[in-house]
Structure 1
Amino acid sequence: MDLLALADFNLVARHGGFGKAARATGRPKATLSRRVAELESSLDLRLFERGTRNLKLTEEGRALYERTGALLAELDETASAIASGGQRPRGKLRISVPLLFSQTAMGKIAAGFVLQCPEVRLEVTTEDRAVDMIEEGYDLVIRVNPDPDETLVGRAFLRDRLVVVASPGLARPAPDLNAPGVVRGVGDRQAWDIMTPLGRSTIMIEPVLALSSLIMVRDAVRAGFGVGRLPVSLVSHDLAAGTLVHWGDVEGPEIVLWTLYPSRRLLSARVSAFLDYLKQAFPRGTPEELAAYISR
C-alpha cells in the first residue's frame, strides 16, 4: 500500500473534502483527488461517496480511516522526535473539556501547561457532549462519569461530590412544604435525597429558576433565590466564608473526571506531558484540592 496515498486519503477524510483539505494544507486539489483514486484502485474499494456537494466516507472508508489515522500520526510524531533528537512534547494538542471544568479550572491549567511545554500548541474546546475523538481529531478528552467505551482508555484524575446549599437567609421548609429551588436544566418539581448529621432525609423542591450553567445556579443561590445542588468544589469557599450554608450531601454516585484517549494509539509525548501536568496539579484528586486550585 502506498503510504503517501494513504496519508492523502486521511487528510481528505479528516477535513471532509478535497477542496477543504487543499485549502488547509496548500496542496493541489487535483493531486489529492488523483492519490485517493489510485488508493481506491489499488484496494479495489470505493472509499468515498462523491455527491454533487458533499463527500462522505463509505463504510470501508470509515474503517480504513479509523484504523490508519492514529498509526500515521504516530509515524509522523516518531519521525519528528527522531529529527529533533528526543521525545520533547511538541506540535498541536487538541482537547475537549466539559463546560464547568472549562469555566473554573481549564484556563489556569492551559496557561501553566504551555509555560511548561512551550513547543506544544494547545487547542481546547468546551463541550459536554460525547465527541467522536477520531472523527473530530481530538488527542484527548476530559469527561465526567463517562460511559464505558471499548475503543478508549483513560484514567480518573479528579473526584467531586454534590451538596445542597442555600443562602443563610433561606430557612429550611417544614417536612410537608416545598423549598424554592434553583436547578440546572428542566425546571420540574423534584425530590432531593440528602444525608445530614441527623440521618437521611428528602427535600421537595419547587424550581423558581432553571438555568443552563452551574456557575449561574451558584450565583442565583448566593443571591438568595433558592436552594441549589452543586459540586462541593464550586461552593467550598462560600461555605467557609458563611455566604452559603450546607443543608446536606446528595446521595448518589460520585462525580469522577476522566481523561480519555484512543486505545489503539501509543501516547504521544504531548499527551503524556499533559497527563503528567494534571497529576502535578491534582496529586490526590480530591474535591478539596480542586476547590483550592479554583480559588487560588
Structure 2
Amino acid sequence: MEHLSEMMTFAKVVETKSFSAAALALKTSKSLVSKQVGALENALGVRLLNRTTRRMSLTEIGAAYYEHCARIMQEIDAAAETVTQLQAEPRGVLRLTSPVIFASLHLAPVIGDFLKKHDKVEVELNATDRLIDIVEEGYDLAIRITDHPAPTMVARRIAPVRFVTCASPEYLERRGTPRTPQDLLQHDCLVYQGVPALRSGWRYVVNNRDVAINVNGKCRVNNSEALIQLALDGMGIVLFPTYILGPHLRSGRLKIILPDSVANPDMSLYATYLPNRYMQPKVRAFIDHMMASIGPKPHWDVF
C-alpha cells in the first residue's frame, strides 16, 4: 500500500473525468495530480490513462486497476464512517421486543436506567412471547432466550439462562421427590404451552447423555405466572428458568429437584439485531447497557 495516495488520486481523476476537477476535489494543484498519476504509472510499469489535449480515457489495464482502487476508497470511507458512528450520541426511537415475563421482571428496570443516561433516546417495547420477525415488523433489537440464535441475525450473548426443575415442599411431601428424569413419568408435571420446546417434552443431559421425557400432567398453561402459582399451590412439578423462579427458590416456597440433571443445556439470553454494516449508536449503547446490568453472571442465579 506504499502508493495509496497515488491510487486515491488516480481514482479521483477517473471519477471526475479530468485532472482539473480531481485537483479541485482534492484541494491541490493540477500539476501535482498529474505528477502523482505519472508516478503511479511508472511504479506499475503500465499506462493507466490515454491522454490527449482534448480528452482522457482509461486503458484496458487502467479500467481493471480502477475497480480495485475504487473498492479501497470505499473501504477507507467506511472505516471513517464507522468511527463517526461509534462516537455519535445515541438518539431516536429504539424499538425492541422481548418475552413477556423477562420484560416485566428484568428488562423494565434496565430500560429505566438506560433512559436516565440517554435523554435523547425513546424506547418502544413490545413484550410478547410471539416470535417476531424484526425485519418485517421494523424492530431494531430482539431479546431472545435460545440455544440456537437465528443464523441470519447478529446475536450478542448477554448471560446464560439456567433451567431448573422444582416443586413446592407440600407437593414433594405428598408425592415424594423424583431422583431421575424418568421418575417424572410418575408425577404431575405442569406444562408451559408458551414455549414450543417445552410442549413436546422436557430435555436433560445426565452423565453426558441426552434424555428426553414426555412428561404427564393434568395442567397445560400458556401463561408463566399462572403456571408458577399452580406450582406454589402444590399442584405439580415445573421446569422453568431461574430468572423467573429465583425469588421463590430464595424464599423456599419452591425446591430444586434433579440437581444432577442439566435441563435445556446451552440456553442463553441474547440481544439479536440485523447484520447492518453500521450498528446504530442507540442499539450499541443499549446492548452495552444490558451487558453491564445483567451479564455475564446474572443476579437471578443467586439463591
Return the TM-score normalized by structure 2: 0.58
Name the residue aligned to 2:37: none
1:143/1:258 contact within 8 Å kept: yes
**Matching of residue 101 in structure 1 with residue 111 in structure 2:** no
Distance 1:178 1:168 in 2: 17
Q: Superposition RMSD on alpha carbons, in Å? A: 3.5
2:276 maps to amino acid? R
1:110–1:207 CA distance, 2 compared to 1 (3 A): same
Instruction: Give aligned pairs, total.
Output: 207
State the shift of 1:202 in Å.
8.6
Distance 1:182 1:106 in 2: 26
**Matching of residue 148 in structure 1 with residue 158 in structure 2:** no
Distance 2:199 2:123 in 1: 42
1:240–1:202 CA distance, 2 compared to 1 (3 A): farther
1:195–1:168 CA distance, 2 compared to 1 (3 A): farther
Distance 1:208 1:91 in 2: 48
1:178/1:203 contact within 8 Å kept: no
1:194-224 alpha-carbon deviations (Å, 9 max, x no partner): 5799x99997743122111222222210111
**Matching of residue 183 in structure 1 with residue 185 in structure 2:** no
State the shift of 1:250 in Å.
4.2
Instruction: Report the 3-state secondary structure (helix = DSSP H, G, I; strand = E; otherwise coil) of the residue aligned with 1:114.
Output: helix
1:93–1:224 CA distance, 2 compared to 1 (3 A): same
**Matching of residue 170 in structure 1 with residue 182 in structure 2:** no
1:120–1:201 CA distance, 2 compared to 1 (3 A): closer
**Matching of residue 266 in structure 1 with residue 267 in structure 2:** no
State the shift of 1:229 in Å.
0.7
1:59-109 alpha-carbon deviations (Å, 9 max, x no partner): xxxxxxxxxxxxxxxxxxx8xx99xxx721111110111223113212111
Name the residue aligned to 1:124: 125
Distance 1:246 1:134 in 2: 39
Distance 1:111 1:96 in 2: 15
Distance 2:288 2:230 in 1: 36
Distance 2:133 2:212 in 1: 39
Distance 1:200 1:149 in 2: 24
Instruction: Report the 3-state secondary structure (helix = DSSP H, G, I; strand = E; otherwise coil) of the residue aligned with 1:142.
Output: strand
Structure (1/2) with the larger strand percentage: 1
1:224 alignment partner, one of 209, 234, 239: 234
Instruction: Report the 3-state secondary structure (helix = DSSP H, G, I; strand = E; otherwise coil) of the residue aligned with 1:128.
Output: coil
Distance 1:135 1:201 in 2: 37
Instruction: Report the 3-state secondary structure (helix = DSSP H, G, I; strand = E; otherwise coil) of the residue aligned with 1:207.
Output: coil
The structure 1 segments of at least 4 consecutive aligned residues displaced by more than 6 Å after TM superposition are 188-191, 199-204
Instruction: Report the 3-state secondary structure (helix = DSSP H, G, I; strand = E; otherwise coil) of the residue aligned with 1:264.
Output: coil
1:89/1:270 contact within 8 Å kept: yes
**Matching of residue 279 in structure 1 with residue 274 in structure 2:** no
**Matching of residue 251 in structure 1 with residue 263 in structure 2:** yes
2:242/2:300 contact within 8 Å kept: no
1:229–1:100 CA distance, 2 compared to 1 (3 A): same
1:189–1:89 CA distance, 2 compared to 1 (3 A): closer
Distance 2:202 2:282 in 1: 42
1:102/1:126 contact within 8 Å kept: yes
1:136-185 alpha-carbon deviations (Å, 9 max, x no partner): 211111112254333x2121102112111000011326859621121111
Q: Structure 1: which 5+ runs fail to align?
A: 1-77
1:179/1:204 contact within 8 Å kept: no
1:196–1:217 CA distance, 2 compared to 1 (3 A): farther
Instruction: Report the 3-state secondary structure (helix = DSSP H, G, I; strand = E; otherwise coil) of the residue aligned with 2:94.
Output: strand
Instruction: Report the 3-state secondary structure (helix = DSSP H, G, I; strand = E; otherwise coil) of the residue aligned with 2:219.
Output: strand
Name the residue aligned to 2:66: none
Bigger Rg, which one: 2
1:5-57 alpha-carbon deviations (Å, 9 max, x no partner): xxxxxxxxxxxxxxxxxxxxxxxxxxxxxxxxxxxxxxxxxxxxxxxxxxxxx
2:158/2:290 contact within 8 Å kept: yes
1:148 maps to amino acid? A
